[in-house]
Structure 1
Amino acid sequence: MVVSKLVKITSHEAENQLELSLRQAFEVLEPKLRPPFSLTIPNPQEYSQLNRAILYGVLSQPHLAKTHIKHLHAIVTDGYALFLSLLVNVVNELYSKLFDSAKNQLLWVTKEMIAVLGVGFDSLLVCLLRQIVGGDFSDWNLWLCFEMVNIFLDKWDCLLEEEPLVLTSALYSFLRLLADHCRLSSPDKLDSLKTMEIEFCVKMLREQFHLCLKVGRDLIRLLQDLAYVPKFRAIWKDLVLNPSEFSTARFCDISQLYRSRTSSRYFLLRITPEMETQLRFVLTHVKFGGQKRYQVWFAKKFLLLPERETLIVDIVRFICCAHHPSNEIIQSDIIPRWAVIGWLLKSCRKNYVEANVKLALFYDWLFFDERVDNIMNIEPAMLLMVCSIPRYIDMTHTLLEFLFLLVENYDVDHNDIIVKGVSSAFTILVQKGVVHSMNILTCCAALSPFLKDKLHRLLSGSNLGVSKESQTTHLRPCAISLSFPDISCLGTPTPSPER
């Protein structure tokens, strides 16, 4: 077996075809990769092979990397498009298996590609952001996070001018990562990283808020987890009370963000390509009732460490908003999304994680507008509540309780928007046939009369009884965190539907 200088391969693993193609190109062309370089213009096939050979050389020969890059500059005819597409494939397919030296080289060549404004360097940055794993405090994961935030700060002017939207991807990623990093009990290890992450995010929010608006309503959800951080607390105050501080003519009120749906591309940012592949496989090919071994494997692979539990929030958001099965899948015996989410909810051990998972599940309900929103984003929560009756009625109870808790307390100054959003969500779910009628909940003998009464009033268009005391209160950091540590319904994980 040939030993790769690029990736770690165990004896039982098959060779990766991408790595093999790069290595074979390098082995064939290695004599031509040293000066003096040929002045002959390569044909398309030769050009493709040269790009592969040079990339392999850059990643596997750090001492010759500058020579290889000069060679690439000399032959490039496509604005580095092919080279960057190969880099993207390397990140997506090989990153976790790369030798440490190759990872270092990967970040080095990324900076080189930004410097020459290679075609597609923004896609490469997004792919690297996806490789930063939430809740992972290993040295190499924190190193990647540090390197990436450093790139976004160091190349700020260039990125702002050439590819400003990639800055919004970085904002989404680092806000989410900060929520994990700020909870770590041993801060010394993360001080410099957190400082840089906060610097970047605050710079975006204060200086480029018009770009931040493109993230949509999930920007608010992410900021909620950071409301206790002084610099973000100040931003919250301005969002609620002084929107003019952001010097953005289009922004007059926080409700504008509520009404703006977040694109699915942002939810992919916090799911690694490997996680995405496994989740899509389960939700596309695994039959309902036969998923347990896949769940066990997934949990051991991605959720085993206690700190990784926060990933469940990102996974639920991905399932709701970025994975929409076809009608053929929906009508088949493939495990439905709601069942996977039920399992994930049961996997939550920490109260604040469970609360944030439920918020991720219901978030689009709060501001639902059928002209803007997709019914598939709200379908899993409805089916999880309905399909848990009667065997797992505790799941139905805890979800409805949480939904009404959100309606009453999420933002009392915009309670009318939230009441309208949630009632619209229930209405459209019936109109589109996700459930035949709301009688399955309102007439359910096992459901709490208290919850049925609240549901009746919501569906009839009545206000849910927000107290006068809370009506005079603006969004508060203690409410924004949505951890609700004193709420009894969040005290223990709830049963999931049939696995």
Structure 2
Amino acid sequence: MALRLIQVLSHESENQTVSSLRQDFELLEPKLRPPFSLTIPSSQEYSQLNRAILYGVLCEPHFAKTHIKHLHAIVTDGYAFIVNLLVKIVSELYPKLVDTAKDQLIWVTETMIDVSAVGVDSLLVSLLRQIIGGDYSDGNLWLCFELVRLLLAKWNFLLDDQPLVLSSALYTYLRLLADHCRLSDDVKLGTLRRLEIELCVKIVREEFHLCLKIGRDLIRLLQDLVHVPEIRAIWKDLILNPSQFKSSGFSDILLLYRSRTSSRYILLRITPEMEAQLRFLLTYVKLGGQKRHQTWFAKKFLSGPDRETLIVDMVRFICCAHHPPNEIIQSDVIPRWAVVGWLLKSCRKNYVEANVKLALFYDWLFFDERVDNIMNIEPAILLMVYSMPQYVDMTHSLLEFLLLLVENYDVEHNDVIVQGVSSAFNILVRKGVIQSLDVLTSSSALSPFLKDRLRKFLSGVKVGVSKQLQPVPLPIPSMLPLKFSAVSSMETPTLSPR
């Protein structure tokens, strides 16, 4: 029977990567069985042998140990070539791999960790990116489980040799936990949730210096999990007893606020395929001709019953990880703000919509032009401005949300947030993203109440919380003030399958 690595539909052409691996396997198959040749292979032969062995490992589980022994005998590059092949397979082919190949992929990854292979960190990160948020299919949950199990089992190696993998894992699993905890009655998720919580708590409690590398988005993710007892305990120490974390230089949550999150973490929560399609949309599709592309994209990536939470990650990607060059910005390609507006309109659940808005405005709250990028805050202001007057409800909704964030996000550090948002408005005008804030403060389309509150904010007048802002939906529980007295008095929300 022919060996299969991927599932290929009848209308699809053969994948070149798979074809290359299979051809080398078929060419060298006689040499892949003991006794092995003692001849030192040339550079070309070495590459072919690596490809053949990897194909055998993935497609012949019953011979996998033999193939690995063969690899150990010939390796001369610290396993770099075969790890690069594995990363390529994961990034390009993972969704199409047959189940046995996925099983073998985890097995060979564990083997590469055991031999301290060059580039194994990239392999683990590539696998983390293949976990899809809001996807409760057996295959996706299997990958969640296998990776969290592997990370816990190889803790000592990762801590000593690949610590950044642990910070990547923390970002990934905190985000996944927010989804998995919403289905608290689902029995099959129980064991997985416990392992995810164990891993996240272990990293935060034992290696907090790694958490600091994530920056401010760590706070955004932790807030979504304040109803989890173990995370609530972490919150208590973050606010009241930061010395518990024994991390040099960390004495206040402000240190995280003032640290911009690298795009390498933002990318963890969208798959390479999602990234490629979003970049295509924002690079080649003309404004006005995007509808069919958006329809295809939504059907491909957002059609599942719980996939809506992915919109949060997509908006964060658009703001923080996709910064088009000037020639694209000045062209008729669909701009980032328009795609964000479409994604925001795609939200059906209030808590998702609120979390998307928080993702959109998050860098505004702590903006400092010395460390932050104006491109991170540009989509929000342009979406508010260009939604008027035809879609003024969008402008109203976003501006209301921003003003509510300023007053309520963290009452203990309100001065920092006021400064951050003020700096964001100032640089957007100074750099010419918008000509003037008059477009908001003097617009006849906006409500007088909102214009008045915005003028007072921009003039430095302290604006109290108004009941007129209360209808704006808030993330639960992420919008709770960070003062621990508010957190500790919160009733744990009742979570049920959606």
**TM-score interval, normalised by the smaller of the two chains:** over 0.9
Contact 1:29 1:53 in 2 (8 A): yes
| CA deviation string 1:368-392 (max 9, x = no partner) | 0000000000000000000001000
| CA deviation string 1:269-307 (max 9, x = no partner) | 000011001000000000001011111111111111121
Find out whether 1:207 has 2:217 as its counterpart.
no
Distance (whole Å) between structure 2 residues aligned to residue 234 and residue 436 of structure 1: 46
Taking a change above 3 Å as real, the CA distance of residues 320 and 214 of structure 1, as seen in their structure-2 partners, is: same
Contact 2:236 2:484 in 1 (8 A): no
Counterpart residue type for residue 352 of structure 1: Y
| CA deviation string 1:324-347 (max 9, x = no partner) | 001000000000000001000111
Distance (whole Å) between structure 2 residues aligned to residue 54 and residue 479 of structure 1: 58
Contact 1:386 1:440 in 2 (8 A): yes
Contact 1:216 1:261 in 2 (8 A): yes
Contact 1:224 1:480 in 2 (8 A): no
Q: For residue 184 of structure 1, what is the aligned residue in structure 2?
A: 183
CA root-mean-square deviation: 1.8
Taking a change above 3 Å as real, the CA distance of residues 8 and 442 of structure 1, as seen in their structure-2 partners, is: same
5+ residue gaps, structure 2: 467-479, 494-498
Structure 1 residue 4: deviation in Å? 5.4
Give the 4+ runs in structure 1 shifted more than 2 A: 461-467, 470-481
Structure 1 residue 480: deviation in Å? 9.9
Q: For residue 40 of structure 1, what is the aligned residue in structure 2?
A: 39
Distance (whole Å) between structure 1 residues aligned to residue 406 and residue 324 of structure 2: 29
Contact 1:134 1:177 in 2 (8 A): yes
| CA deviation string 1:372-422 (max 9, x = no partner) | 000000000000000001000000000000001100000000000000000
3-state SS of the aligned residue for 1:40? coil
TM-score norm. by structure 1 comes to 0.94
Distance (whole Å) between structure 2 residues aligned to residue 164 and residue 305 of structure 1: 34
Distance (whole Å) between structure 2 residues aligned to residue 283 and residue 245 of structure 1: 44
Find out whether 1:57 has 2:67 as its counterpart.
no
Distance (whole Å) between structure 2 residues aligned to residue 471 and residue 313 of structure 1: 20
Matched-pair identity in %: 72
| Aligned ranges 1:304-343 → 2 under 5 Å | 304-343=303-342
Contact 1:57 1:68 in 2 (8 A): yes
1:476 aligned to which of 461, 483, 486: 486
Tell me how many residue pairs correspond in the alignment: 479
Contact 2:56 2:63 in 1 (8 A): yes
Q: For residue 30 of structure 1, what is the aligned residue in structure 2?
A: 29
Distance (whole Å) between structure 2 residues aligned to residue 89 and residue 367 of structure 1: 37
TM-score norm. by structure 2 comes to 0.94
Distance (whole Å) between structure 2 residues aligned to residue 460 and residue 118 of structure 1: 58
| Aligned ranges 1:56-455 → 2 under 5 Å | 56-184=55-183, 186-455=185-454
Counterpart residue type for residue 189 of structure 2: L
Distance (whole Å) between structure 2 residues aligned to residue 156 and residue 255 of structure 1: 29
| CA deviation string 1:433-482 (max 9, x = no partner) | 10001010011011111111121122122222259xx999547339999x
Counterpart residue type for residue 135 of structure 2: D
Counterpart residue type for residue 165 of structure 1: L
Contact 1:316 1:361 in 2 (8 A): yes
Distance (whole Å) between structure 2 residues aligned to residue 477 and residue 101 of structure 1: 46
Q: Using the TM superposition, name which of 108-117 and 470-479 deviates more.
A: 470-479
Distance (whole Å) between structure 1 residues aligned to residue 481 and residue 69 of structure 2: 65
Contact 1:412 1:475 in 2 (8 A): no
Distance (whole Å) between structure 2 residues aligned to residue 67 and residue 42 of structure 1: 19
| CA deviation string 1:66-121 (max 9, x = no partner) | 00000000000000000000000000111111110000000000000000000000
Distance (whole Å) between structure 2 residues aligned to residue 46 and residue 480 of structure 1: 64
Counterpart residue type for residue 323 of structure 1: H
Taking a change above 3 Å as real, the CA distance of residues 448 and 304 of structure 1, as seen in their structure-2 partners, is: same
Distance (whole Å) between structure 2 residues aligned to residue 87 and residue 181 of structure 1: 28
Counterpart residue type for residue 201 of structure 1: C
Q: For residue 495 of structure 1, what is the aligned residue in structure 2?
A: none
Taking a change above 3 Å as real, the CA distance of residues 111 and 215 of structure 1, as seen in their structure-2 partners, is: same
Taking a change above 3 Å as real, the CA distance of residues 473 and 59 of structure 1, as seen in their structure-2 partners, is: closer
Distance (whole Å) between structure 2 residues aligned to residue 426 and residue 276 of structure 1: 29
Counterpart residue type for residue 46 of structure 1: E
Taking a change above 3 Å as real, the CA distance of residues 471 and 343 of structure 1, as seen in their structure-2 partners, is: closer
Counterpart residue type for residue 99 of structure 2: D
Q: For residue 497 of structure 1, what is the aligned residue in structure 2?
A: none
Contact 1:54 1:72 in 2 (8 A): yes
5+ residue gaps, structure 1: 484-499
Taking a change above 3 Å as real, the CA distance of residues 479 and 441 of structure 1, as seen in their structure-2 partners, is: farther
Taking a change above 3 Å as real, the CA distance of residues 151 and 140 of structure 1, as seen in their structure-2 partners, is: same
Counterpart residue type for residue 47 of structure 1: Y
Distance (whole Å) between structure 2 residues aligned to residue 351 and residue 478 of structure 1: 24
